[in-house]
């Protein structure tokens, strides 16, 4: 997945799933149509900035964390684990989160080398 819009679609789905929300529940929290959420997640529709702000708020994540794509999710299926970690660590300060993320990245890199 190369484009920013594709990453945004994937990120919405990953965060929604990691929070145990259905598309309908996210739509209700964001005051949007359920089918619209599905279309965004499939990449059929692209959210406006205002719509994206509603979704990010409904997912209870900061804009900065939402757009944090520096962790490579393409190797293995670690995205669900990392999204859950992100949710757990949301109350930590930025320095603490960075330290923990770097540690996790090193562990994943080590695992992939063995």
CATH number of the structural domain spanning residue 102: 1.10.260.40
In tens, the pLDDT along 69-85 reads 554 444 455 556 666 67
Mean pLDDT of the region 34-61: 95
Q: Which two tokens stand for residue 7?
A: 């990453």
User: What is the pLDDT at residue 71?
Assistant: 47
Of the candidate ranges 11-15, 56-60, 61-65, 69-73, the one whose mean pLDDT is the lowest = 69-73
Average pLDDT, integer, range 53-68: 90
pTM: 0.61
Q: What percent of the chain has pLDDT over 90?
A: 43
The count of domains in the chain is 1
Give the Cα separation of 85 and 76 in Å (integer).
Answer: 16
Residue 41 domain boundaries: 4-113
Q: Which of 33-42, 60-69, 72-81, 100-109 has the lowest mean pLDDT?
A: 72-81
More confident residue, 95 or 62: 62
Tabulate helix, strand, coil % of the chain (nearest 5): 70, 0, 30
């Amino acid at each position: 997945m190369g484009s920013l819009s594709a990453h945004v679609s994937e990120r919405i789905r990953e965060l929604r799933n990691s929070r145990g929300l259905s598309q309908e529940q996210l739509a209700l929290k964001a005051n949007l149509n359920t089918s619209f959420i599905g279309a965004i997640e499939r990449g059929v529709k692209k959210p406006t900035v205002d719509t994206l702000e509603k979704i990010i708020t409904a997912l209870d994540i900061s804009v900065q964390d939402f757009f944090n794509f520096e962790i490579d999710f393409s190797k293995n299926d670690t995205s669900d684990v990392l999204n859950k970690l992100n949710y757990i660590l949301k109350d930590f300060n930025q320095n603490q989160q960075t330290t923990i993320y770097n540690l996790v990245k090193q562990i994943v890199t080590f695992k992939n080398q063995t």
